[in-house]
Structure 1
Amino acid sequence: MEMTFSRSSEQTVLLIREMSEVAAARRMACSLGQRLGFNETRLGQLALVVTEAATNIVKHAAPGEILLRPLQCGSQAGIEILALDDGPGMFDLSLQMEDGQSSKGSYGVGLGALKRLSQEFDIFTLPQQGSVLRMALWADGEMPSASHWDIGAICLPLAGQEACGDAWAISSGPSDLAIMVSDGLGHGADAAMASQLAVDSFEMSLNKDAYSPPEKLISTINKDLHGSRGAAIAVAQIDKESKLLEFSGVGNISAGVFNGTRRKHLISHNGIVGSNIHKLTRSELAWDCSALFIAHSDGINTRWSLGEYPGLEQCHPGIIAGILYRDFNRHCDDVCVVILRVAF
């Protein structure tokens, strides 16, 4: 069975406070689109989407952020745009989505048009709790047909650092998926090198054998990280057909499964992968295809609850990742959060 590999890639965060920063976000998005093979029509649509989303932040909820992430599904390339703010939110989202409704002072295309210009669109907003808007535009203008999993991810370095010491990687097929999240010790270039070695080791192991138990994958990563700074590592394997999740972790990666109001934490053991592993075990959990898997590094505070955001669990995982990043970023370390569910 053919597996698709995806991994953390260069993600850009742009602070939006004033109109000059709207223009900077538009230029950054178009530059990324050109590198990914967007034609002139698609670049124009991308520019309009980013401009409108950023302008809405300036006019109603500054400061906010625009996050840009390259997407790849097989041979198809795309860009994810997340617009985050903690402003007044929207009191009547259904009205804002109607044609003819546009944000005051914006370019006038409104949310309804943004939805039509994007191949993927989702929004979460509550009065006085801000908004998170997610859009994905694909270079060929079509949603990938081979997408079996919805994945949301934010992976960014500590402010002032160029290299991110956190990383993630996923190997997925129609019925199963393996995910790894790594937090290299400390931050900066050495931490980034350790996490990159972990990603390479994870992918190499799964290229040899599409299924490998999570504790075996970590054991292999441990050998490959000898001589590096080391890392905290969590690995999960999910099989939709057998409805089973297997997990193993070392260090301070927080991971859990969420299904409605039920939350099940997955236990990691103390140690440093690449240096000092005291114990490696595998835990197993029944997997429901409506569930969410959430894993994040300690750059995200663990004191969060999806229940505080009514309806959020029904949103795209990218929206949920945006909420955790916006509201629970500790701002003292690199940050990585990866969330996934079965695509419907």
Structure 2
Amino acid sequence: MENLSSSLSPSEWIAITHASDVAAARRIGQRQADALGLDETRSGQLAIIITEAATNILKHAGEGRMLLSTVSHGGQMCVEVLAIDRGPGIANLARAMQDGVSGAGTSGTGLGAMRRLADRFDVYAPAGQGAVLFMRMWGAAAAVPGWRAGGVCLPLAGETASGDAWAVRRHGETVVLMLADGLGHGPEAAKAAAAALRMLGATSTQSPATLMLACNEALRPTRGAALAIAAVDTVGQQLQFAGVGNISASIHAEGGRRQLMSHNGIVGHNMRRVQDLPFACPAGAVVVLASDGIASQWDLDKYPGLAGCEPVLIAAVLLRDHARGRDDACVLVLARMAAS
């Protein structure tokens, strides 16, 4: 379905530890630009963004990683760039965004260039807490809805396929979020998660419980998965939720954090009866789904200003700081955004 976004779209992690990694990241970006059909000018701008972001990691943090992804938002395609490090952060972000200002003795055009060239730029870099930069390049002029979603998946070290996966489907004013965690890790876990995502794309139901039952049948030939599904009525400001297995789901609003309950079981093998559970989801709320590869003791309130950032940037910060490192890890975020 054209309104389906998911982690099955082309994406690649690149470790940035040496100058040669900058060129490697640029080549991957070029492949994605070609696949998206970006013209020579736009491809060149993407190459500059990737170069500046990777170089920024080396200069200021020494090492980090980048995630380059081709993503669909409401049927409109783009390339997204995430640059993630654990360096010193940026003490004065407003000043650092000015051309000619540098903390590394360079010309100081990197952050300014990225912001000018990208269709969407966002950054979260508190002093002493590392930096996460986000850039988006649309394949064509795009009208983006106010409610946006973004996710990040990181395979277990040594694996090329992630057993965790996310997907988002928009239908009218309803946004359906799905996070699947295939049992174990590796290719067989990835197959189970992908089967759930395909079911989301194949059905028009907006009931999480009904969708969960369909996934239970679809996953029987696989090893099974934990699964969380949330359907958000963005006009009525209501959320319906159904979850099976160890996936964290929460709503963050002015009233605090509301944890959503999942039932025990394995989708595809040992699933109890499920039902849609209703929750308020007011304008300004942030909805977070996280696999058990993410430690559960994180607190969004300890990240001042993060809730107002791009959802994929929020997901990247939580994954960077709370991935357990002994399993696949995935975070999916939905939030209302100001126009870019």
Q: Per-residue deviation at 1:66?
A: 0.9
AA aligned to 1:16 is I
Q: Give the distance between the partners of 2:43 and 2:104, measured in 1 at CA.
A: 25
**Aligned residue number for residue 170 of structure 1:** 168
Q: Is 1:5 matched with 2:4?
A: yes
Q: Give the distance between the partners of 1:74 and 1:244, measured in 2 at CA.
A: 20
Q: Give the distance between the partners of 1:21 and 1:261, measured in 2 at CA.
A: 44
2:254 to 256, 260, 263: 260
* Identity fraction in percent: 42
Q: Give the distance between the partners of 2:160 and 2:109, measured in 1 at CA.
A: 35
Contact between 2:56 and 2:110, CA under 8 Å: does it hold in 1?
Answer: no
Q: Is 1:95 matched with 2:95?
A: yes
Deviates more, 1:269-278 or 1:3-12: 3-12
User: Do the aligned partners of residues 68 and 261 (structure 1) sit closer, same or farther apart at CA in structure 2, a change above 3 Å counting?
Assistant: farther
AA aligned to 1:202 is L
Q: Give the distance between the partners of 2:283 and 2:259, measured in 1 at CA.
A: 17
Contact between 2:2 and 2:74, CA under 8 Å: does it hold in 1?
Answer: no
User: Do the aligned partners of residues 197 and 57 (structure 1) sit closer, same or farther apart at CA in structure 2, a change above 3 Å counting?
Assistant: same
Q: Is 1:136 matched with 2:130?
A: no
Q: Is 1:40 matched with 2:34?
A: no
Q: Give the distance between the partners of 1:303 and 1:286, measured in 2 at CA.
A: 23
**Aligned residue number for residue 227 of structure 2:** 233
Query: The residue matched to 1:200 in structure 2 has which SS?
Result: helix
Q: Is 1:323 matched with 2:317?
A: yes
Listed as ranges, the gaps of 5+ residues in structure 2 are none
Contact between 1:79 and 1:136, CA under 8 Å: does it hold in 2?
Answer: yes
Q: Per-residue deviation at 1:312?
A: 1.1
Q: Give the distance between the partners of 1:262 and 1:3, measured in 2 at CA.
A: 34
Q: Give the distance between the partners of 2:16 and 2:105, measured in 1 at CA.
A: 15
| CA deviation string 1:284-343 (max 9, x = no partner) | 111112101100111111111112211111111111111111111111111211101134
Listed as ranges, the gaps of 5+ residues in structure 1 are none
Q: Give the distance between the partners of 2:106 and 2:32, measured in 1 at CA.
A: 23
Contact between 2:147 and 2:234, CA under 8 Å: does it hold in 1?
Answer: no
Q: Is 1:220 matched with 2:219?
A: no
Where do 1:198-209 residues align within 5 Å? 198-206=196-204, 209=205
User: Do the aligned partners of residues 146 and 76 (structure 1) sit closer, same or farther apart at CA in structure 2, a change above 3 Å counting?
Assistant: same
Q: TM-score, structure 1 length as denominator? A: 0.93
Contact between 2:308 and 2:337, CA under 8 Å: does it hold in 1?
Answer: no
Q: Give the distance between the partners of 2:58 and 2:13, measured in 1 at CA.
A: 16
Q: Give the distance between the partners of 1:257 and 1:315, measured in 2 at CA.
A: 16
**Aligned residue number for residue 157 of structure 2:** 159
Q: Per-residue deviation at 1:108?
A: 4.8
| CA deviation string 1:164-192 (max 9, x = no partner) | 21112211145211111110000111111
Q: Per-residue deviation at 1:76?
A: 3.5
Q: Per-residue deviation at 1:219?
A: 0.9
Query: The residue matched to 2:203 in structure 1 has which SS?
Result: helix
AA aligned to 2:232 is I
Q: Give the distance between the partners of 2:245 and 2:276, measured in 1 at CA.
A: 14
Query: The residue matched to 1:136 in structure 2 has which SS?
Result: strand
Q: Give the distance between the partners of 2:146 and 2:257, measured in 1 at CA.
A: 23
AA aligned to 1:303 is Q
Contact between 1:59 and 1:106, CA under 8 Å: does it hold in 2?
Answer: no
2:282 to 270, 278, 288: 288
Q: Per-residue deviation at 1:36?
A: 1.3
| CA deviation string 1:85-137 (max 9, x = no partner) | 11111111111111332453657532122111000011111111111111101
Contact between 1:261 and 1:307, CA under 8 Å: does it hold in 2?
Answer: no
AA aligned to 2:3 is T
**Aligned residue number for residue 179 of structure 2:** 181
Q: How many residues align?
A: 337
User: Do the aligned partners of residues 222 and 75 (structure 1) sit closer, same or farther apart at CA in structure 2, a change above 3 Å counting?
Assistant: closer
1:304 to 293, 298, 303: 298
Q: Give the distance between the partners of 1:90 and 1:32, measured in 2 at CA.
A: 30
AA aligned to 1:125 is A
Query: The residue matched to 1:255 in structure 2 has which SS?
Result: strand
Q: Give the distance between the partners of 1:157 and 1:107, measured in 2 at CA.
A: 36
**Aligned residue number for residue 117 of structure 1:** 117
